[in-house]
Chains A and B, each alone.
Chain A
Amino acid sequence: MTKSQRASLLLGLALVLPLAVAGMAWAGGASLDEDDEDQSNAGVSFFGFAKDLDRGGGVADAKVSAEIKNRNASLVTRTDEQGHFKFSGFSKDIDPKDVEISCSKDGLKLQRTVRRQPAGGDAATSIEVDCLMVKR
C-alpha cells in the first residue's frame, strides 16, 4: 500500500469510525474486525525511562503513573528491565500539558521529571518524559 493510499484509508476510517465502533460492539465490546496498525483516533502518547541518578542506568519495575488534570482517572504501568515505559495515545481531547507523569520505586524518590520532544519525533504524537530518581 502506498503512502497516499494509506492516508486515504486512514481518512476514510476516521470518518466512519465513530459509527463503526458504535455499531460493532459484540459480546462485551469486541468488534468484528480490528486493525492494530490504525491509530487514527489516538492522541498523544508518552514514553521514557525511569533513571537512577546515583547508580546510573534505568530503574526496572518502577511504578509509573499518568495523571490527567481535571479527570478523575489515572493510568498506571511499570517500567521494563531497562527502565523503559510507554503509554499509548491518550484521547485526542486530552491536552498533553494536562498529563503529568510520575514514578515511584521502593528505596528511591523522584527528584524531577524531564519532558522533551524526541529526536526526530513529532511532538503532536509523542512526548518523551524521563523520571530522574535518587536514593531516598
Chain B
Amino acid sequence: MRTRGPLRTALAGILPGALLGTLFSANVTFAERLFDSSNLALTGHVTSSQEGAMEGVLVSAQRTGSPISVTVVTDHAGRYGFPADRMPPGHYALRIRAIGYELGSPPGVEVAAKGTVTADLALRKVDDIASQLTSTEWLISMSGTPEQKRPLIECMSCHTLERVVRSKFTADEFVGVLKRMANYANNSTMQRVQARVAEREVPEDRARRVAEYLATVNLSKRDRWDYELKTLPRPTGAATRIIITEYDMPRGTIAPHDVRTDADGFIWYSNFVEPYIGRLDPRTGAHAEFAYTLPKPNFPAGALALEPDHDGNWWLAMMFQGGVMKFDTRTKTFRHYPLPADLNSDTAQQSMVMPRQSHVDGKVWTNDVNTHSILRLDLATGGYERVDPFQGMPIGANRQHSPYGMAADRDNNLYFMDFGDESVGRVDAKTFRGTIYPTPTHHSRPRRTMLDDKGRLWFAEFAANKLGMFDLDRESIKEWDVPTPHTYPYDVYLDRNGELWSGSMSNDRVLRFDPQTGKSVEYLLPRQTNIRRIFIDNTTTPVTFWAGNNHHAAILKIEPLD
C-alpha cells in the first residue's frame, strides 16, 4: 500500500470512507492517479440554509474561452474537489445542478498553476422548480394513465416535455400542432427543424384523442399545473463518485447522435441534422468536420447510425438522404451507395447500418423505415437486396414491425431489434430466412443493441423501461427493469467488467447496472442531455463512458471513480 499524507488528507474530504478503503488498495489506481498530480486545483463546500451540507450537488467549471467543462459531485459532507490535471490555469465560471436550488450569483474563480483555490457555494431555494424538471419528472408528475402518457415519448425525439406542459394550446389547437409535428423529420432538433418532403396524414380521431389529453396537463385552462411537481432524488453515495467532461461543439446546431472512439483515441460522431461526420480529440478539445455532398439536397440532412467496418472506416446510415455512406478514414473521402430507383422514394429512410462483418461476404446491412424492411448492400455491385423477415408474423394493432438496432455475428448473419413492436430478429446471411423472437414483455420496442464476445446480444427496451439480453446459443431472452420509471433507455453497452451502461432520452441520467447482482447506480448529468447511442471505452481503467448530447451540441465523457 502506498500512502501520501497530503493527498490522503485532501481525498478524505472528497471521497466517502468506503471508497477510500478501495482506493488505496493495490488494485484501484484511477482515482489515486487522478488526484495525485498536484492535489486539488479547486475545492469547497456546498450548503444551503435548508439542508446545511448538501450531498449530490453537481458542480461544473468551465474555463473562459474553452469548449470543455468539467463536473464533479459533492460527497456526503457537501465537499467537492477538482483534480489539478483537469483544470489548466485560468478563469473559470462555476455552475451547479441540484433540483430545487440555484447558485445565487455564479462565482468565477481564478485557478493558478500551483496551489488550491477554495470556493464555498451557498445555494438558495428556487421559487419555481418547473424549469428544472426533466421529461421523466414531468411524466411522473402529470395526471393521466400510462396509455394516455405513452404517445408523449415520441415528442422527446425533438424536444423535452417542458415545451408541451408549458403550452397553452386547447385540444382543438393541439390537433393542428400534432399534425404539424408529424410532418417534421425525425432528425430535427429545436436548433434545426427539418420538414419532411412527403406529407404524412394523421388520422383525426387519433390526433384528437392525444390532443384532448395534452390539454388536460398543459396551461390551456389554468395558470399553474394542478398536479404536484415531483422530482427524482439527488445523487448519493456511489452516484457521486464520478468526473464528467463535456466538450461543447463549435456550433449549436451540431447534433451528435452516435459516438464512437477509434484506435487512435479520437471520438467520432454522426451529425443527425447536418451533412458532416465529426471528430473530436478529447486530449485537446480540437474538433474537425468532414463534409459530404447531400445526395438529395431538398430532403432533410443528417445521418443516424455510425458504425465501423473491419478496416476502421466509418459507415453512416443516411436517413432521408437515402442509402448508406462510407467514410474512408485513410483518404478522408466519402463514397455514397444510393438506393435503387424503386426504393428511393420521398419517404425512403435508412436509420441503421451494419458493416462490421462486411469483410466476410462483401455485404452491408441497413434498413428501410419506410417499408419496414431490411436491406442488404452488395459492395461489389452497389445493388441492394430487400428482406422481409416478418412474413405472416403477429403484430399488435395500430403498429408496424420496424427493424432498428443491428448487430452481425462472425458469419455476417444479422440480428436486429424490432423497434416498432416487441421482437429480436435474425436474418440468415445465406438464405435470408427470418427468425423472430418476441420479448417476454409485450410491446417492449427494443431499440439499439450490441453483441458481446460471448454470443450475447444486449439491448434497450425503450417502451418497456427494461434492459434485455438475447443468448444466441440458447435462443432465449432475459430482461431487467431499469430503476427509474419513464427512463426510456435508448441503448445499452456491456463493459469488460460485465456491467451494463445505458442512457436516457428523458431524465438526464446514465445508468450503470450489474446484471449479476441487480445493483445499479444512476449518474445525474450536469445539463439537459438527450442521449442516443452510447459507447464504452474498455481500454481505460476504469472504463470510460461516451455519448452525444443530441439536442445540445456536446459530447459527454463519464469517468467513474470506482
Q: Mark B411-436, 1 if CB is under 8 A from A, else 0.
A: 00000000110000000000111111
B376 on the A face (CB < 8 A): no
Chain A contacts of B205 at CB under 8 A? 16
B148 to chain A, nearest CB (A): 9
CA distance A23 to B204 in the complex (A): 12
B182 touches A24 (CB 8 A): yes
A32 touches B210 (CB 8 A): yes
Q: Mark A63-76, 1 if CB is under 8 A from B, else 0.
A: 10000100111111
A32 touches B404 (CB 8 A): no
Residue from A75, A89, A90 in contact with B438 in the complex, judged by beta carbons closer than 8 Å: A75
Q: How many A-B residue pairs have CB under 8 A?
A: 164
B42 to chain A, nearest CB (A): 41
Chain B contacts of A94 at CB under 8 A? 392
B438 touches A77 (CB 8 A): yes
**Which of A19, A45, A91 is packed against the most chain B CB atoms within 10 Å?**
A91
Chain A: which residue is nearest B404 at the CB level? Answer: A28
B157 on the A face (CB < 8 A): yes
B178 on the A face (CB < 8 A): yes
Q: A24-B202, A34-B399, A77-B437 are in contact. Are A88 and B210 (CB under 8 A)?
A: no
A20 touches B438 (CB 8 A): no
Chain A contacts of B438 at CB under 8 A? 75, 77, 87-88
A23 to chain B, nearest CB (A): 4
Q: Mark B155-191, 1 if CB is under 8 A from A, else 0.
A: 0010000000000000000000010001000100000
B442 on the A face (CB < 8 A): yes
User: Which of A35-43, A50-58, A122-130 lies at the interface?
Assistant: A35-43
A75 touches B394 (CB 8 A): yes
A1 to chain B, nearest CB (A): 14
Residue from B200, B397, B435 in contact with A36 in the complex, judged by beta carbons closer than 8 Å: B397
CA distance A98 to B113 in the complex (A): 77
CA distance A42 to B395 in the complex (A): 7
- Bin chain B's interface residue count: 35 or more
CA distance A45 to B372 in the complex (A): 23
A27 touches B157 (CB 8 A): yes
Residue from B182, B393, B420 in contact with A28 in the complex, judged by beta carbons closer than 8 Å: B420
A17 touches B154 (CB 8 A): no
A32 touches B435 (CB 8 A): no
B433 touches A23 (CB 8 A): no
A82 on the B face (CB < 8 A): no
Residues of chain A at interface, number, CB under 8 A:
45
Chain B contacts of A34 at CB under 8 A? 147, 150-151, 396-399, 443
Chain B contacts of A17 at CB under 8 A? 397-398
Residue from A38, A42, A61, A93 in contact with B394 in the complex, judged by beta carbons closer than 8 Å: A42
B201 touches A19 (CB 8 A): yes
CA distance A124 to B203 in the complex (A): 30
A28 to chain B, nearest CB (A): 4
A90 touches B399 (CB 8 A): no
B391 on the A face (CB < 8 A): yes
A117 on the B face (CB < 8 A): no
Chain B contacts of A13 at CB under 8 A? 397-398
Residue from A16, A25, A33, A68 in contact with B391 in the complex, judged by beta carbons closer than 8 Å: A68
A21 touches B206 (CB 8 A): no
Residue from B201, B202, B351, B419 in contact with A30 in the complex, judged by beta carbons closer than 8 Å: B419
Residue from A29, A32, A43 in contact with B402 in the complex, judged by beta carbons closer than 8 Å: A29
Chain A contacts of B202 at CB under 8 A? 23-24, 32
A45 touches B390 (CB 8 A): no
A70 to chain B, nearest CB (A): 9
B433 touches A28 (CB 8 A): no
A89 touches B394 (CB 8 A): yes
Could you give 13 example pairs across A and B, Cβ below 8 Å? A21-B400, A25-B369, A25-B402, A30-B419, A31-B400, A33-B151, A33-B209, A36-B147, A42-B395, A42-B396, A75-B437, A76-B437, A91-B395
The 5 A-B residue pairs with the shortest CB-CB distance, nearest first, are A29-B402, A29-B420, A38-B397, A73-B434, A23-B201
Known: A33-B210, A36-B443, A78-B476. 11 other contacts (CB 8 A): A17-B397, A24-B203, A29-B419, A29-B420, A32-B207, A45-B394, A72-B432, A73-B434, A75-B393, A90-B392, A90-B394
